[in-house]
Amino acid sequence: MQIRELSVEGALEITPNPISDDRGLFVSPFQETPFRLATGRRLFSVAQTSHSRSRRGVVRGVHFTATPPGCAKYVYCPGGSAIDVVVDIRVDSPTFGNWDAVGVDQEHFRAVYFPVGVGHAFIALQDDTVMSYLFSGEYVPENELALSVTDPELGLPLPQDLTPILSARDRVAPTLAEARERGLLPHYDKCKAAEVALGH
């Protein structure tokens, strides 16, 4: 398993080592020991697992959880392919406004670790793209917020050959600047405190 730091502070790309033979493939998208050795901490206790299935062109995000309570996540793609995007929206973070993108698919099974308070978006590149999530907290609708994935200030990597398919909520989500002006964005110090509370 290889682990790489992304350009958003605290976010990681994790690449496992699939084993394949004439029967097929076996892979472990998450392993505690390599994660702990690489990061010096354990993964959070999992409170919820979820899956999404999307057709080509679907864009989900940019989504984030109000902090507090905050929520960390670990995401991988067991079917299809996608561009997975992490966005630093934590006010006063050393990498505020930065984003990074990871190609995730059913061949490499790369995963992305999203620390508390960052934004998450992905673009499905194939029909029936499945994304699997491990969450540190359970879904609470009133805590779930969104930013515009087409915000020109962010300049996220939306493929030019795809027409984004967005939910009604994501179509009207505010820009990063609008969300900051409304006081919707999480603060870096509160996000780091929430990570400590997760046992990091």
Active-site residue set: 63, 133
Cα-trace Rg, the chain: 16
The three-state secondary structure class of 106 is coil
The sign of the CA dihedral 12, 145, 150, 129 is positive
Q: Which tokens sit at 37?
A: 């050795």
What whole-number distance in Å separates Cα of residue 192 and Cα of residue 200? 9
Q: Please, is 87 exposed, middle or buried when counting C-beta atoms within 10 Å of its C-beta (0-12, 13-18, 19+)?
A: buried
Q: In terms of C-beta distances under 8 Å and separation of at least 24 residues, what long-range contacts does 17-20 make, across chains too?
A: 18/107, 18/108, 18/109
Q: Is the CA virtual torsion 187, 190, 132, 47 positive or negative?
A: negative
Half-sphere exposure of 181 (CA within 13 A, CB side): 5
